[in-house]
């Protein structure tokens, strides 16, 4: 199977938020990404709205519903009541739960599934009752995946930041790929779907896809937005899709 691409729009929103102006347009570039072949859009609405604003969510929901009905909306975040109210209002096809502190710059670790299993099980039951697929952010390790399965989650999203950071160290890259391969194999054994995200690029996607043949989706923001500064959003989306195989 070939993984699908969900374009994370947070970096676009961060650039827009540097000025009190409506450009670059988050919705406009989301439209370009979907029209170029992306299978979905991802956002992470943080409590301080420093990237995606809550007001963006309705526009992006409408974009998908009105123009790209086969695409998916993926909203990720820490499952606070405020966050859960947002996803219940905008009904994304997928919710990705991350263990972020509100002050973090970006997601940089997966859940401790054993410690948070009871809380996650309750949240996942609530979300799945409304028809949403749930994915849990996970470190690239086999440890704790049984506990993740027992929460009732549909998928895990493996944190690929450590892999992305090895861009200039081939030996370290192979070590990280081995960890990801083992983790993915364990997830499949447990019946979990697999997503991946963080610091993925055109250069490092092919090797990742090779060791994760059952990978369902990658969510990419920073690397794709950086690529778009050189190639434009449309061509960058197509470059990333090609890199996935």
Instruction: Provide the annotated active-site residues.
Output: 44, 76, 198
DSSP labels, the chain = ---EEEEE-HHHHHHHTTTTS--S-HHHHHHHHHHTT--EEEE---TT-SSS-HHHHHHHHHHHHHH-TTSEEEEEE---HHHHHHHHHH--SEEEE----TT-SS--S---TTTTHHHHHHHHHHHHTTT-EEEEEE-SSSTTHHHHHTTT-SEEEEE-HHHHTTTT-HHHHHHHHHHHHHHHHHHHHTT-EEEEESS--TTTHHHHHHH-TTEEEEEE-HHHHHHHHHH-HHHHHHHHHHHT-
């Amino acid at each position: 199977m070939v993984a699908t691409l969900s374009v994370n729009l947070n970096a676009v929103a961060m650039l827009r938020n540097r000025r009190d102006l409506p450009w670059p347009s988050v919705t406009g570039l989301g439209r370009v990404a979907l029209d170029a072949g992306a299978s979905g859009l991802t956002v992470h609405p943080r409590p301080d709205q420093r990237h995606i604003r809550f007001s963006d969510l309705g526009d992006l929901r409408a974009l998908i519903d009105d123009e790209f009905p086969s695409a998916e909306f993926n909203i990720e975040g820490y499952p606070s009541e405020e966050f859960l109210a947002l996803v219940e209002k905008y009904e994304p096809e997928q919710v990705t739960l991350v263990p972020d502190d509100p002050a973090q710059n970006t997601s940089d670790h997966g859940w401790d599934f054993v410690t948070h299993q009871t809380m996650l099980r309750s949240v996942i039951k609530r979300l799945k009752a409304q028809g949403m697929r749930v994915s849990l952010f996970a470190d690239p390790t086999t440890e704790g995946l049984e506990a993740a399965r027992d929460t009732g989650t549909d998928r895990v999203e493996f944190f690929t930041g450590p892999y992305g950071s090895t861009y200039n160290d081939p030996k370290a890259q192979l070590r990280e790929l081995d960890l990801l391969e083992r983790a993915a194999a364990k997830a499949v054994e447990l019946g979990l779907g697999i997503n991946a995200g963080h610091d993925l690029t055109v250069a490092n996607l092919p090797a990742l896809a090779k060791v994760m043949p059952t990978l369902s989706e990658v969510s990419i923001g920073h690397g794709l937005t950086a690529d778009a500064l050189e190639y434009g959003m449309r061509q960058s989306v197509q470059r990333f899709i090609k890199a996935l195989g």
